[in-house]
Amino acid sequence: METKKIVSIGFVASLFVAAFISFYASSHPDGLEFVAEQIGFLNTAKDSAVATSPLANYSFAGIENERLSIAVAGLVGVGLTALFGFGLFSMVKKKDSSPRK
């Protein structure tokens, strides 16, 4: 199977998971948050520098429907990650394919 086909299938699968499956992820706190709560220092935590960003808390700000908000945030996240990754790899590929002396 050629590389482009494999990448395309992976990208479509990532979009599907982000848009439809991510809504069913666990709502329980992660391990670090759980331990912080058990030991008693969770209340000293400070908000992240990106806590007010449009994608904070795994949802998209401004969309009232929770399911849609999570789906849009997942799709945007996958899209941005793909753009960054493809951009980075294309720069590396161009640099690597330059004529050698």
Give the best-scoring range by mean pLDDT among 1-5, 27-31, 33-37, 69-73.
69-73
Q: What is the mean pLDDT of residues 67-81?
A: 94
How far is Cα 3 from Cα 5, in angstroms, rounded to an integer? 5
Task: Supply the angle between the helices 3-16 and 66-96 in degrees, to the nearest 10.
Answer: 160
- Least confident range from 16-25, 28-37, 47-56, 66-75: namely 28-37
Q: What is the pLDDT of residue 99?
A: 64
9 — pLDDT class (breaks 50, 70, 90): very high
Is 47 in a helix, a strand, or coil?
coil
- pTM for the complete prediction? 0.73
Q: What is the pLDDT of residue 65?
A: 95
